[in-house]
Amino acid sequence: MPVDQHSADQRGVDRRDVLVGGLSALGGLAAGAAGGVGVARSGAAPAPAGSGPGAGSGSEADHATTVELAGSQRRPFHGEHQPGIMDAPQAHGVWVAMDLVPGADVTALQRLMRIWTQDVAQLMAGRAPYADFEPELTATTASLTVTVGIGPRVLGLRGVTATRPTWLQPLPAFPQIDRLDPRWSGGDVLLQICADSPITVSHAQWVLTKEARTIATVRWVQRGFRQGHAVTRPGETMRNLFGQVDGTVNPVPGRDDAVVWCGPSAPRWLQGGTTMVLRRIAMDLETWEEADPLTRDTSLGRRQRDGSPLTGRAETDAPDVAATDRLGLPVIDEFSHVRRSLPHEKGLTDRFLRRPYSYDDPPDPGRLTNAGLLFVAYQAELEQYLSVQRRLAEADLLNTWTTPIGSAVFAIPRGCREGEVLAQDLWA
């Protein structure tokens, strides 16, 4: 089936030119808009989507310009790191794990990575890939990012020359808390697809999985969301479905890059890459309901109202775990989530990047809800995550209401430069 790629390209370019031209003529915003694409990669909030020309008149034309920007925002695919990790989390995301077909070897892997490298670059640029028959959906990029991960079994494929890092295997069991369901666990290769429009996410998912279908089958799909696009302030920490401010303490791009990106001591294919853990954590709204505000805040160590630590006034105040009340008891309970998860060390050893999304699926018969969190963690070394996870499994008051029901670990290869193929160091 012929797809007129040239015309799709032209459409994308024309549209962008019109936009930037229009803005530049009207308000000098062109630099800001272009800057948005650039800074997004470094973790800053996306460029203002809301400061269109003609503010104050409130006419429909103003609004049209504004929302066009949101739908056509793009992030760069090529770079030192893969996108979708340290950049600002988009409103919607899906995680798709696929298993390579029996007998797949390095040739199959190479073919898959070549297809995905080409298609992801096209999709993120708003251009229809070769076998995209709904280019109209591709045109709405909405800050799309696609991140590709490598599961443990891939390193054992015939022809793969890199050796498997010892950590690249299913997480150790946490029998105190885990109730893992195989249908949310494991996988040979991973697609993480995030965008500010759920249709953009769905369409990219369809194009990338169908292009892989002769090489790999879908193992599981998990969809999640944060606040809708343009609903909260950029940079505002999200709330999960327990109502908690979730993700306050997170590495800052630039300053804390070493927390996330693998350095020179890692295998070549991971230098500039990272390690990813996806835990599917069921959150029992039906029992959380029974916890009064004091219990809730004590269990977390922060106030639900505004995310501030019990020893502070603002969300960003550092929790003071040494503080005691008039009776000499710790203000932040020693079994609270914050106390147990707070880094013990000054260095990187127990810090990591969280990029969580909520889920809310149809409940099982007889239940009211089926909600929780896709807890997505990135760290240069898996041990950074594990050292915290071990403490939380031993004791964390929040465990009363949360249950890990899925678990997967992936290696995220470094980013691609122009002309390179994702994960190419695995066989080079």
26-55 positions binding a second copy, by CB under 8 A = 26-29, 31-33, 35, 45, 47-55
Assess 210 for contact with a second copy (CB under 8 A).
yes
- Identify which of residues 82 and 141 has a Cβ nearer to a second copy in the complex: 141
Identify the three-state secondary structure at position 8: helix
> What string of DSSP letters covers 377-419?
EEESSHHHHHHHHHHHHH--GGGGTEEEEEEEEEEEPPPPPTT
Residue 204, token pair as written in the block: 């990219």
Give least dist CB 348 to a second copy, A: 29
CA atoms of 305 and 281, how far apart (whole Å): 22
- Identify which of residues 294 and 327 has a Cβ nearer to a second copy in the complex: 294
- Identify which of residues 42 and 163 has a Cβ nearer to a second copy in the complex: 42
Assess 292 for contact with a second copy (CB under 8 A).
yes
CA atoms of 385 and 68, how far apart (whole Å): 39
Give least dist CB 10 to a second copy, A: 13
- Interacting residues with a second copy between 347 and 376 (CB under 8 A): 358, 360-363, 366-369, 371
Give least dist CB 176 to a second copy, A: 27
Residue pointed to by tokens 């805040």? 297
Give least dist CB 394 to a second copy, A: 28
Taking each helix axis as running N to C, give the angle between helix 60-72 and helix 5-27, from 0 to 180 degrees, rounded to the nearest 10: 130
> In the annotation, is 246 catalytic?
yes
- Identify which of residues 196 and 396 has a Cβ nearer to a second copy in the complex: 196
- Identify which of residues 196 and 350 has a Cβ nearer to a second copy in the complex: 196
Of these, 114, 179, 213, 313, which contacts a second copy (CB under 8 A)? Answer: 213
- Interacting residues with a second copy between 126 and 165 (CB under 8 A): 133-137, 140, 142
Do residues 302 and 308 lie in contact, with contact meaning Cβ atoms separated by under 8 Å?
yes
CB-based contacts of 102-107 (< 8 A; 24+ apart in sequence): 104/157, 104/215, 104/216, 105/157, 105/158, 105/159, 106/157, 106/158, 106/159, 106/160, 106/426, 106/427, 107/159
- Interacting residues with a second copy between 301 and 320 (CB under 8 A): 304-305
Question: Counting Cβ atoms within 10 Å, is residue 337 exposed (0-12), middle (13-18) or buried (19+)?
Answer: buried
Among the listed residues 119, 196, 246, 333, the single catalytic one is: 246
Assess 202 for contact with a second copy (CB under 8 A).
yes
Measured from the Cβ of residue 213, the count of other Cβ atoms closer than 10 Å reads: 11
- Interacting residues with a second copy between 63 and 82 (CB under 8 A): 63-71
Of these, 38, 159, 263, 293, which contacts a second copy (CB under 8 A)? Answer: 293
Assess 206 for contact with a second copy (CB under 8 A).
yes
Question: Counting Cβ atoms within 10 Å, is residue 326 exposed (0-12), middle (13-18) or buried (19+)?
Answer: exposed
Strand partners, 218: 98
Residue pointed to by tokens 């013990």? 344
Give the sign of the dihedral formed by CA 14, CA 118, CA 261, CA 235.
positive
DSSP 8-class letter at 21:
H
Assess 6 for contact with a second copy (CB under 8 A).
no
Of these, 74, 81, 127, 223, which contacts a second copy (CB under 8 A)? Answer: 223
Give least dist CB 172 to a second copy, A: 27
Give least dist CB 208 to a second copy, A: 10
How many residues touch a second copy under the rule CB under 8 A: the total is 95
What is the set of active-site residues? 246
